Amino acid sequence: MPRFASKLLLIAALALAVVAAACGGGSGSGSPAPTAMESPAPTAQPGGETLTTAELVERLRPSVVHVLTEAATIDVFGQVVPAAGVGTGIVIDEQGHIVTNNHVVTVDGVKPVEKVTITLSDGRKFEARIVGRDQPTDLAVLQIDAENLVPARLGDSSELQVGDEVVAIGNALDLPGGPTVTKGVVSAKGRFIQEDPFMISDAIQTDAAINPGNSGGPLVNDQGEVIGITTAVIRGDVEGVGFAISIDTAKPIVAELIREGRVERGFLGITFLDVTPSLAQDFDLPVEAGVGIRAVEDGSPADRAGLQPDDIIVRLAGRAIRSNADLIKALTENRGGETVEVEFYRGDRLMRAEVVLGESPG
């Protein structure tokens, strides 16, 4: 079978760069607390009630918060310079948990900022602590000690269809007067963002305008339910393309951040790309779905198990792997130190190997 790693690398090189839409910062960790994210998602409005844009904005406004961060950075002269960032957050329960983006509450996505101030829609201000952060999915959870909070209603992003109308709410450009609202449609589903350090599966693509300051804000369906968390835009000459983490992807990540303060996931040490029917046809591959290995990191668990570039992973730990999203879910369910069986094609031959997963560096 012809090698196709070069094809995968070419596709990856041609992919548009995805960059964070806003910056910011906060610090600290705390004990877990119960959260609505650990319970089944709230049901839809009675009878599937469709709201006007004005109605759903009015319903969501109390749940959308302004996130102001403060951090100390070093300038080119080695001097400490204060820096501030702005983002958006979503109240998800009455215990004061707020979901936002990791890049909003960190410096360069890694170091937490010194201070996070939350401003509610009624004008009340609170200093927040960072409960947990997950760099690969660009998610973070904050918590404030406040009463009379209005949690957002969380939807089911699996029910979205391409073409459905959606609304993005956030503090775009930190303009005065409260959050701004943009409207568009679901342009595509199931996007995979693999742009260091992001590794976001099942992302929602939308043409609703998303600008700096929107990061961490809700993407809402016409029933007033949060079905995504806006996280990135494509910069450059491309317009009308924004992304949101699907709420179905966010729920288990957020729940684990609240319980543990971090997300543990298994690590293979590979870069990869979806096998598609067109790739399968072009290169006479044995399967039309799976995850093709582009490269294997030296000394990684995959390397020690004998996996090679061009191998196509079709099963891991008993889970069928048909896409990048499936692989990420399997690695999230299986932790570092666990031994799992991997099924993969090498040429036309179906092979199996046992891999001792490593600890995810992210």
Farthest-apart Cα atoms in the chain, separation: 64
Using only the alpha carbons of the chain, give its radius of gyration: 21
Q: Which residues are within 8 A (CB) of 240 and not within 5 positions of it... i.e. 6 or more apart?
A: 184, 187, 207, 209
62 backbone φψ class: left, alpha, beta (φ>0; ψ -120 to 50): alpha
CA dihedral 248, 12, 327, 277 (to 10 degrees): 100
Dist. CA 238–CA 257, nearest whole Å? 34
Output the DSSP codes for 224-261: S-EEEEEEEEE-SS--S-EEEEEHHHHHHHHHHHHHHS
Q: Which residues pair with 121 in a beta bridge?
A: none
Q: Residues 304, 356: contact at Cβ < 8 Å?
A: yes
- List the alpha helices (DSSP H) in the chain: 5-14, 53-60, 247-260, 277-283, 301-304, 324-333
Q: What share of the chain is helix, strand, coil (3-state, %, to 5)?
A: 20, 40, 40
Query: Is residue 175 classed as helix, strand or coil in its secondary structure?
Result: coil
- Pick from 245, 205, 211: nearest CA to 16: 205
Catalytic residues: 103, 138, 215
Dist. CA 70–CA 85, nearest whole Å? 7
